Amino acid sequence: MNTHPNVGYRLQHQRPASLFRHLRYKVWKSKARAPLVWLRHRNFRPADTFFAAYPRSGSTWSRFVLFEILTGREAGFDTVNATIRGPGGHKTAPPLLPGGGRFIGTHEPYRNTYKRAIYNVRDGRDVLLSEYAFVTALGRFHGTLDDFITIFLRGKVNGYGTWHNHVRSWLDSPIAQTSNLLIVRFDNLRSTPEHWFKRIAEFLGVDADPLRIRNAIANNSLDQMRAKEARSPQKSSAQGHFVRQGTVQGWRNKLTAAQLARIDETAGDILARLEYPLSTQVYDEPVLTVPHRQATVS
- Domain span at residue 167 reads 16-282
Average pLDDT score over residue span 277-291: 57
pLDDT of residue 281: 74
Indicate the average pLDDT of the chain: 85
Per DSSP, the residues of 64-86 read HHHHHHHH-S---HHHHHHHSPP
Q: Tell me the per-residue pLDDT of 77-112, one tens digit each, with 9 for 90 and over.
A: 999 999 999 999 999 999 999 999 999 999 999 999
Q: What is the pTM of this model?
A: 0.82
Domain membership flag for residue 5: no
C-alpha separations of 75 from 60, 61, 137, 155 in Å: 11, 10, 25, 32
How many domains are there within the chain?
A: 1
The verdict on residue 10 lying in a domain is: no
pLDDT for residue 276 is more than 70? yes
- The residue type of 182 is L
In this prediction, residue 1 has a pLDDT band, given cuts at 50, 70 and 90, of: very low
SS3 state at 106: strand
Least confidently predicted of 72-81, 182-191, 219-228, 266-275: 219-228
Assigned domain for 289 exists: no
In-domain check, residue 58: yes
Is 292 within the bounds of a domain? Answer: no
Percent of the residues in the chain that have a pLDDT greater than 90, as a whole number? 68
Q: Specify if 298 maps to a domain.
A: no
Q: What is the CATH number of the domain that holds 89?
A: 3.40.50.300
> Is the pLDDT assigned to residue 238 strictly greater than 50?
no
Q: What is the pLDDT of residue 295?
A: 47
Per-residue model confidence (pLDDT) at position 227: 86
- Helix residue ranges per DSSP H, the chain: 16-28, 33-40, 59-71, 77-83, 124-137, 145-153, 163-171, 186-191, 193-203, 210-218, 222-231, 233-236, 257-273, 279-282
% of the chain at pLDDT higher than 70: 79
Task: Calculate helix-pair angle for 222-231, 59-71, nearest 10 degrees.
Answer: 90
* Integer angstrom CA distances of residue 172 from 109, 159, 165: 11, 21, 10
143 domain-assigned? yes
- Indicate whether 287 belongs to any domain: no
Distance CA 102, CA 45 (A): 8
State the average pLDDT over residues 166-189.
97
